[in-house]
Amino acid sequence: MNRFYSLNDYFKETFGEKIYKVSLDGGFTCPNRDGTLSYKGCVFCSERGSGDFAGKREKPIYDQIEEQLKLIEKKFPTGKVVAYFQNFTNTYGDKEYLKKVYMEALSHPRVMGIAIATRPDCIDDDVLELLDELNKKYFLWVELGLQTINEQVATFINRQYLLETYKETAKRLSNKNIKFVTHIIVGLPHEKETDPLNTALYAQECGTWGIKIHLLHVLKNTQLEELYKKNEIKFQKKMEYVKKVVKILQNMSYNIVIHRITGDGNKKELIGPEWSANKRDVLNSITKYMKENNIVQGDELQKMGE
Ligand code: SF4
């Protein structure tokens, strides 16, 4: 029995087959890194703009797809993939450039759709028009890095946009029937116990199609590393994280697609927490806890009669 509605479940249910994602670097930067809003970026942002396993930025998109497909050739020799524009802010550029890179990905015979990671303050009317145009012809979703609804924590992590901006962008995307996924981080410095759950509930209210839950982990060469050295970061214990994730899952309707429930940092760059390096173990701990306690996604909503 599936205890939550994973992206795999969604793909199988919707397209009747397994579909992989290939991560691409579209050559973008970010207003939070290029000085438009700040030079520092979000405190957790890695050197590669939070896309450490993506294709090589100097290569054309088509070639990056080929290379990424080679990496998964043994386990996935022939199936379809979603081209995931992951690094930095993938709607931060002029419309012609955006269209060019998106279409280059969509021109690959094994690409059945695209996923675009961005910031809610980087979807202006021109970009929305382009996304709308593509969404009518192709399978597409957009990813928004919300991380938290606690505005003080958002300031601390240097997110550089207000919660209201997320809400407005969510509404504009929903009005165009464009699916969006919301990123949440569990274990941020200074967050309150209930912040991760409240953030997920807020995203749900705003119409999110999917949720990506990350655990806070410290990577080398990030601002978090500096904070860690100053003893300003406390690592959460694995079971604390597991319980918070499960609480979120219990409060998400069963039609919200769960894209991720753990982190995926580069192990070579990881400072801590150590347990986060064993992704399989974190996933197993979450499903084991759900099984032992007879929990499934959305069961708390059902108890409330929703
Ligand atoms: S918005 Fe994304 S790319 Fe920009 S600084 Fe934050 S994590 Fe990095």
**pLDDT of 286-306, one tens digit each?**
999 999 999 999 999 877 665
Tokens found for residue 5? 């509605």
Give how many domains the chain has, as a whole number.
1
For residue 297, being part of any structural domain is answered with yes
For residue 168, being part of any structural domain is answered with yes
Kindly state if the Cβ of 224 falls inside 6 Å of ligand 1. Answer: no
CATH of the domain at 116: 3.20.20
**pLDDT of 92-106, one tens digit each?**
999 999 999 999 999
For residue 166, being part of any structural domain is answered with yes
Rounded to the nearest angstrom, the distance between the alpha carbon of 222 and the centre of ligand 1 is 12
175: helix, strand or coil: helix
**pLDDT of 8-35, one tens digit each?**
999 999 999 999 999 999 999 999 999 9
C-alpha torsion angle, residues 42, 36, 92, 163 (rounded to 10) = 50
d(CA 164, CA 170): 10
Q: Is the peptide bond before 273 cis (omega within 30 degrees of 0)?
A: yes
Rounded to the nearest angstrom, the distance between the alpha carbon of 161 and the centre of ligand 1 is 11
- pLDDT higher for 183 or 57? 183
pLDDT at 305: 61
Other Cβ atoms closer than 10 A to 90: 29
Ligand 1 nearest-atom number relative to CA 159: 6
For residue 14, being part of any structural domain is answered with yes
- For the ranges 23-27, 44-48, 56-60, 194-198, the lowest mean pLDDT is seen at 44-48
Cα 2 off chain centre by: 21
Facing residues of 117 across strands? 143
Ligand 1 nearest-atom number relative to CA 88: 3
Instruction: Report, as an integer, the average pLDDT of 148-171.
Output: 97
Q: What are phi and psi of 121, to 5 degrees?
A: -90, 10
Question: What does the DSSP 8-state code read for residue 49?
Answer: S
CB 118 within 8 A of CB 89: yes
pLDDT at 211: 98
What is the average pLDDT value for the chain, to the nearest integer? 94
d(CA 34, CA 93): 12
pLDDT at 263: 78
Testing ligand 1's pocket by substitution, the residue of 25, 28, 32 carrying the most ligand atoms inside 8 A of its CB is: 32
Kind and range of the H or E element at 173?
helix 163-175
For residue 218, being part of any structural domain is answered with yes
Query: Above 70 in pLDDT, residue 180?
Result: yes
How much of the chain exceeds pLDDT 70, in percent?
96
Model pTM? 0.96
Measuring CA to CA, which residue among 17, 25, 14 is closest to residue 81? 17
For residue 2, being part of any structural domain is answered with no
For residue 287, being part of any structural domain is answered with yes
Nearest C-alpha to atom 5 of ligand 1 is from which residue? 41
Q: What's the farthest any 2 CA atoms get from each other in the chain?
A: 52
Testing ligand 1's pocket by substitution, the residue of 88, 121, 144, 169 carrying the most ligand atoms inside 8 A of its CB is: 88
Query: Above 70 in pLDDT, residue 170?
Result: yes
Range of the domain at 150: 7-303
118: helix, strand or coil: strand
Kindly state if the Cβ of 41 falls inside 6 Å of ligand 1. Answer: yes
